[in-house]
Structure 1
Amino acid sequence: MSLTKSLRMAVAALAVGALSLTACSQGTPTDSSSPQPAAGGSSSSAGGGQQGGQLLGIVSITATDSNNARVIAGATEAAEAAGWKVEVVDAQGNADTANAAIRNFVSKKAGAIFDLVFPVSSLGAGLQAAKDAKIPVATWGGGLGDGVVMTTGDGGPFAEPATQAMLDELGDSGSVLALTYRGGQVCRDREAVFDEMLADHPDIKITKSEVTIPGFLQDGARHATAWLAAHPAGSEKLAIWGCWEDPTLGAISALQQQGRDDVLTYGINGSSTAIKAVQDGTLTATVYEDGKGEGAKMFEVVQEAIQAGDSWEQQTLDVPGVLVTADTVDDFLKEHPEALQ
């Protein structure tokens, strides 16, 4: 199978999975009228309006992204094992939708609410409603704020290995297309790390293009097509960097349409599609993140916060990323076979 056909099949699979997940996230809300006590729950002031909290509300910036889906899966599995019900809202990158979803979960007297990626600075109304109702909120990459009991540190640190790998290949000069997204805290933090690391390499020219949610695959291809027109093959060392790998996968489709194999490509999150792209040589490197494990850990920590009540102190859960390249992918998959699922 050619590299072009392999990537097209991978991107098509990603799109089909996205549509399926979106359909699931927009289903009929779970009936929470009959509370079920949660394992380890309590009636402390951090536990919301119900004994122990039987509903976990998850608000995702895009439930169609593979790593968001992994976090949702991990949190759902852990919550359901503890006797909780779970509802997911795909806010599709819209902070107003996210705020409305949080307020809706407050009205349902949820036991806890998870925010995936939206910066706490864009969720003022929702977070205030949750705080007033004494419902704990946890964020995945959204940062800490008033009423937030924990967050994950998967933003900036995950950008370091991918960016360093790119710099090791480029050396002191070249041109980079950086595909950014400023609507989410994770990508903001990763872009800040990218900027800091590239500041020490003034001869590397940077073009930044922001993608949208939804539409990141198409945007990646569109931005790459325009950038490639100004950067012909053989002109200099070239690379495309994405604050997560899906926009980069979109850019790779543009590379293949133009028969360009001279551009290095980098992403972050380590979706199954990205790992397969590293295997077939179309993606230079990605950084794997165990999103499912993070989702389960978030629920565990929130239960601890509920039990602790007012004595709880905010936490940041640090999860290391793993750089995956053509040289390391086989050994990586022996250790993490779940990465291809």
Structure 2
Amino acid sequence: MNWRSVSGVRKAAVAVLLSSTAVLAASAAQAEDKLLLGLVSITATEDNNHRFIEAATKEAAKLGWEVSVIDAQGNADQANAAFQNLVQRKAGAIVDMVFPVTSLGAGIKAANDAKIPVGTWGGGEGAGIAAVNGSGGPMATPIIEKLVADLGGKGSVLLLTYHTGKVCRDREEVADAILAKSPDIKVTKNEVRIPGYFQDGAQYATAWLASHPDGSEPLAVWGCWDDPALGAISALRQQARTDVKVYGENGNAQAIEAIRKGFMTATAWQDSAQEGIVMVQTLAEAVKAGDAWKPKSVEVPAVVITKDTVEDFAKQHPEALGK
């Protein structure tokens, strides 16, 4: 055997090994350089949250970012833990989806200490927040005003609320303020859960209908987002009740279809996909600016949808119906 040829083979093998190691090292370095965007959602399966996540993920991909979605399932403790996990993973930016920033003190502090910019979609402004959009209060105003007008300023209304999310809390405050000006409208409130909002909406509506018979007075149900109101609609349909007006918020695809079919009276469409895009773009600016960044509000206006406007809306925004 020619030992020189063996030696040459060994040298070639070593060269290949070194080359492969260099490629792997370069790939690892490239992966480490890719910014990680964390999306901490109050409920990732809800339609509006899903639209935000999907649009934000696509926008992040255009920037070469990776995205990690964590569903905290309505639990603020899980959301804080998710923030801290993302900090350990050296995330480049984090978005709080709907949790009030006041309930995420530990998570936001961990991100701030690591100099990670934090955006909030519907969580409100606060210390350590770089960007805000998706605020809930303004969306409720035209819907509650329409509800009062449709009832003629009298009757009874069931409000389906949710206190863990700031968006719903802000909308409830708007509803309280407007309804307080119409003392002849009697208000009943029930708080739904996440998960379980469809079932709760149906259950609370069923109990409320038992004490509000057909034809007794003007009646309405309002959900602080569409899904509890859709749950209430299922109860109304089971009882063949057509005397109760139903109002939602967010403009989910099912709510728009419910308006088309005459089951829902009105909703306010939240362009959550555009909000997701704008949030990623704003956080990209914040990452680039570093310590020079100043907190910014980047709200996207809502659109009221009724039976009179739903077909025009569907033509202009087919994406809202999943088309």
Using the size of structure 2 for normalisation, the TM-score is 0.89
| Deviations 1:94-138 (CA, angstroms, capped at 9, x unpaired) | 000000011000000000001100000110110111011110110
Q: Aligned residue pairs: how many?
A: 296
- C-alpha spacing 1:277/1:131, structure 2 compared with 1 (3 Å): same
Kindly indicate whether the alpha-carbon contact (under 8 Å) linking 1:36 and 1:84 is maintained by their aligned counterparts in 2. no
Kindly indicate whether the alpha-carbon contact (under 8 Å) linking 1:119 and 1:185 is maintained by their aligned counterparts in 2. yes
> Pick from 95, 108, 122: which aligns with 1:141?
122
Q: Counterparts of 1:305 and 1:211 in 2: how far apart (Å)?
A: 36
Amino acid at match of 1:279: R
Unaligned runs of 5+ in 2: 1-26
Does the alignment pair 1:209 with 2:190? yes
| Deviations 1:177-223 (CA, angstroms, capped at 9, x unpaired) | 00000000100110111111111101100000000000000000000
| Deviations 1:260-301 (CA, angstroms, capped at 9, x unpaired) | 010000000011111111111111111111111100100000
Aligned to 1:76: 57
Which runs of 4 or more aligned residues in structure 1 lie more than 6 Å from their structure 2 counterparts after TM superposition? none
Q: Counterparts of 1:158 and 1:284 in 2: how far apart (Å)?
A: 16
Q: Counterparts of 1:164 and 1:287 in 2: how far apart (Å)?
A: 12
How many angstroms does 1:340 deviate by?
A: 0.5
Q: Which shifted more, 180-189 or 316-325?
A: 316-325
Aligned to 2:90: 109
Higher relative contact order (CA 8 A, sep 6+): 1
Kindly indicate whether the alpha-carbon contact (under 8 Å) linking 1:170 and 1:238 is maintained by their aligned counterparts in 2. yes
How many angstroms does 1:35 deviate by?
A: 5.5
How many angstroms does 1:154 deviate by?
A: 2.7
Q: Counterparts of 2:134 and 2:107 in 1: how far apart (Å)?
A: 22
Aligned to 2:251: 270
How many angstroms does 1:145 deviate by?
A: 2.0
Amino acid at match of 2:82: A
> Pick from 93, 111, 115: which aligns with 2:74?
93
Q: Counterparts of 2:190 and 2:30 in 1: how far apart (Å)?
A: 47
How many angstroms does 1:317 deviate by?
A: 1.6
Same amino acid, percent of matched pairs:
58
Amino acid at match of 1:304: E
Aligned to 1:176: 157
Kindly indicate whether the alpha-carbon contact (under 8 Å) linking 1:154 and 1:319 is maintained by their aligned counterparts in 2. no
Q: Counterparts of 1:143 and 1:193 in 2: how far apart (Å)?
A: 15
Does the alignment pair 1:120 with 2:101? yes
Using the size of structure 1 for normalisation, the TM-score is 0.85
Q: How does 1:163-242 map to 2 (within 5 A)?
A: 163-242=144-223
- C-alpha spacing 1:101/1:235, structure 2 compared with 1 (3 Å): same
- C-alpha spacing 1:287/1:35, structure 2 compared with 1 (3 Å): farther
> Pick from 288, 291, 299: which aligns with 1:310?
291
Does the alignment pair 1:294 with 2:256? no
- C-alpha spacing 1:189/1:132, structure 2 compared with 1 (3 Å): same
Does the alignment pair 1:57 with 2:34? no
Kindly indicate whether the alpha-carbon contact (under 8 Å) linking 2:94 and 2:119 is maintained by their aligned counterparts in 1. yes
Q: Counterparts of 2:166 and 2:214 in 1: how far apart (Å)?
A: 34
How many angstroms does 1:338 deviate by?
A: 0.9
How many angstroms does 1:148 deviate by?
A: 1.1
Q: Counterparts of 2:294 and 2:168 in 1: how far apart (Å)?
A: 26
Q: Counterparts of 1:306 and 1:230 in 2: how far apart (Å)?
A: 55
Aligned to 1:151: 132
Q: How does 1:250-261 map to 2 (within 5 A)?
A: 250-261=231-242
Aligned to 1:4: none
> Pick from 215, 224, 239: which aligns with 1:243?
224
Q: Counterparts of 1:109 and 1:64 in 2: how far apart (Å)?
A: 26
Bigger radius of gyration:
2
Kindly indicate whether the alpha-carbon contact (under 8 Å) linking 1:153 and 1:316 is maintained by their aligned counterparts in 2. no
Kindly indicate whether the alpha-carbon contact (under 8 Å) linking 1:248 and 1:267 is maintained by their aligned counterparts in 2. yes
Amino acid at match of 2:228: P
Q: Counterparts of 1:124 and 1:154 in 2: how far apart (Å)?
A: 19
Amino acid at match of 2:193: T
Unaligned runs of 5+ in 1: 1-32, 38-49
Q: Secondary structure at the match of 1:201?
A: coil
Amino acid at match of 1:163: I
Q: Secondary structure at the match of 1:148?
A: coil
Q: Counterparts of 1:186 and 1:230 in 2: how far apart (Å)?
A: 29
RMSD: 1.3
Aligned to 1:26: none
Q: Counterparts of 2:147 and 2:35 in 1: how far apart (Å)?
A: 46
Q: Counterparts of 2:208 and 2:183 in 1: how far apart (Å)?
A: 19
> Pick from 301, 305, 313: which aligns with 1:324?
305
Q: Secondary structure at the match of 1:283?
A: coil
Amino acid at match of 1:144: E
